[in-house]
Amino acid sequence: MADVGRLAGVSATTVSFVINASPGEVIRPETRRRVLAAVEELGYRPNRAAQGLRTRRTSTIGFITDEVAVEAFVGQIITGAHDVAWHNGSVLLVINTMRSRAVTRAALDNLADRQVDSIIFASAGTRRVALPPSPGHVPTILVNCFTANDSVPCVLPDEVGGGRAAVRILIDAGHTNIAYLTGTPGAWATRGRLRGFREELRQAGIDPRNQIVEAGNYQADSGYELTLELLTKRHRPTAILCGNDRMALGSLMALRQKGVDVPAEMSLVGYDDQDALVTRISPTITNVRLPFYEMGRWAAERMFGQGAQGLAPRTQMPCVPVLRESVSAPRS
């Protein structure tokens, strides 16, 4: 930087002013031109580490997660947070904890030591986490998880609304006899979706107690087996709602095997909207999409606004219906 100043015939300070377009500093156009030329000639690039030391702002967001690889869900959260960060000149420092509490603790310390501006903590599955107290007071937001006492602001998918949206798709298509093959009973997501399922039916004047609800486990086999079972019942439903896309896939395989056409003879709705599973298949599966990308964006956006100050303890993002080929009106 001193070299640049020397070449341009000015001091390092002036170079800094020019490069950063420091607000309040007025530089004569001629000087600015000379400085820029010198920067160009020397191929000078400011050292961000030094800047960070001086300004106490590293333009870095720490991103801690359970697990980057499984399910590609976390990948979407990262992508959302990344896009916003990049747009604001920041970048993501990613640490994978593999759900180890020790690693989580170490990651938090490490990120604080590196002077990150803020921390986003994301979980692959929606759940309660016990976050060790962060050293220093780095603004922190939780994505797809929450703490017991809501001590840290978080953003979650609106699963109840998602459950309602899923049923609404089928009701709108004219179905009144809908089977719901749920995911693992007790899981946070399962409970919300089921509640939404019932609420929406009731609101449409359909008694949820007349609908078949079977508990699966979010794996393809459970969708497959529960569907085979379903097909043997007397009062066969005209539509199946699945706990997630893997189950929907299993269900589809069972329907194929039994020669039941989708959607002509049976409508099918998945949940999660996992691209690889759901759009590269025939028929493409109507779905409710989880807002992972949006939650990632949301969290990062907060970091460039008021930080984690003044946020509601919990924010919900909508799960939106995605209409594809697997739903049609029931056969009359």
Q: Which residues bind DNA (CB under 7 A)?
A: 1, 5, 9-14, 16-17, 19-20, 22, 25-28, 30-32, 45-47, 50-51, 53-55
Element (H, E) at 95: strand 91-96
Binding to its own copies by residue 46, rule CB under 8 A? Answer: yes
Binding to its own copies by residue 36, rule CB under 8 A? Answer: no
Q: Which 290-309 positions form the footprint of its own copies (CB under 8 A)?
A: 293
Stretch that binds its own copies, among 3-11, 64-72, 156-164, 263-271 (CB under 8 A): 64-72
Q: Which of its own copies, DNA, none lies near 135, with the C-beta cut-off 5 to 8 A by kind?
A: its own copies
Closest to 141 in 3D by CA, of 150, 80, 91, 318: 150
Nearest to DNA of 50, 264 (CB atom): 50
62 bridge partner residues: 93, 119
Evaluate whether 270 touches 244 at the Cβ level (below 8 Å). Answer: yes
Give exposure, 204-235, as e/b (b: 16+ Cβ within 10 Å).
eebebeebbebbbbbbbebbbbbbbebeeeee
Structure token digits, residue 268:
């099918």
Binding to its own copies by residue 71, rule CB under 8 A? Answer: yes
Q: Which 135-154 positions form the footprint of its own copies (CB under 8 A)?
A: 135-136
Q: Which 214-243 positions form the footprint of its own copies (CB under 8 A)?
A: 219-221, 224
Which residues fall within 8 angstroms of residue 244, CB to CB, at 6 or more apart?
183, 218, 270, 271, 272, 274
Number of residues that bind its own copies (CB under 8 A): 60
Evaluate whether 118 touches 139 at the Cβ level (below 8 Å). Answer: yes
CB of 107 to its own copies, least distance (A): 9
Binding site for its own copies (CB under 8 A): 43, 45-50, 52-53, 58, 60, 63, 68-72, 74-76, 78-79, 82-83, 86, 91-96, 103, 109-110, 112-115, 135-136, 219-221, 224, 246, 249-250, 252-253, 256-257, 259, 274-277, 280-282, 293
